[in-house]
Amino acid sequence: MSGFPTAAPAAGEVSPEALAAVLFNEQRALEGPGVEDAYLWMAHAALNRISKLKKPLGHGDAPPKLGRIWPNEQAALERARSAAVQAIEEQKRGKDPTGGALYWQHVSVDPRWSPEFARDYLGTQKYQGYPLKRPFGPFENRNHSKKQQVTPGEPVYLGIYGK
């Protein structure tokens, strides 16, 4: 069978490169304190979605692929690879710091908000019906793409959601 399996594999059967591609493509433009932990929690949430919701990493049978990698994004790629390998190894050992989180969402906030106020605000939000488990950020958004769901230049938080 070619491509990524549509049935959810165990953590040990997920390609670290495929998981790293998801993390990199989602988080590559964000920089700041705690970004490594954010990558790790995203990796665990992705693995949880695969195993609990039977959702593949890619679209259909197509495995996730890295987008264009700019020279200034090499550090982000290495963080993604490291988090992917670590999360897979931790889940093989039954360790999941997210406690079963399934989703993540990037949220840009008003730059006038204090980090404390922004985290409190995120704590009142739900994603896919699930409450916030942990916020990460604020991160600096270095991508100014019009395709982004967050506003360029505004502080960005990553929320991890689950029961």
The predicted pLDDT at position 132 comes to: 96
- Give the tokens for residue 17: 């490169």
Beta bridge partners of 141: 30
Q: State pLDDT tens for residues 106-161.
A: 998 899 999 999 999 999 999 999 999 999 999 998 765 555 556 667 899 999 99
Tell whether the model's pLDDT for residue 38 goes beyond 70. Answer: yes
Tell whether the model's pLDDT for residue 2 goes beyond 50. Answer: no
Number of residues written out for the chain: 163
Structural domain boundaries of the chain? Answer: 11-161
- Please state the rounded mean pLDDT for residues 2-13: 47
Beta bridge partners of 97: none
Burial of 52-88, coded b for 16+ CB within 10 Å and e otherwise, reads eeeebbbeeeebbebeeeeeebeebbebbbbbbebbb
The predicted model scores a pTM of: 0.84
Kindly report the number of other CB atoms within 10 A of residue 140's CB atom.
Answer: 14
Q: State pLDDT tens for residues 93-114.
A: 999 999 999 999 999 889 999 9
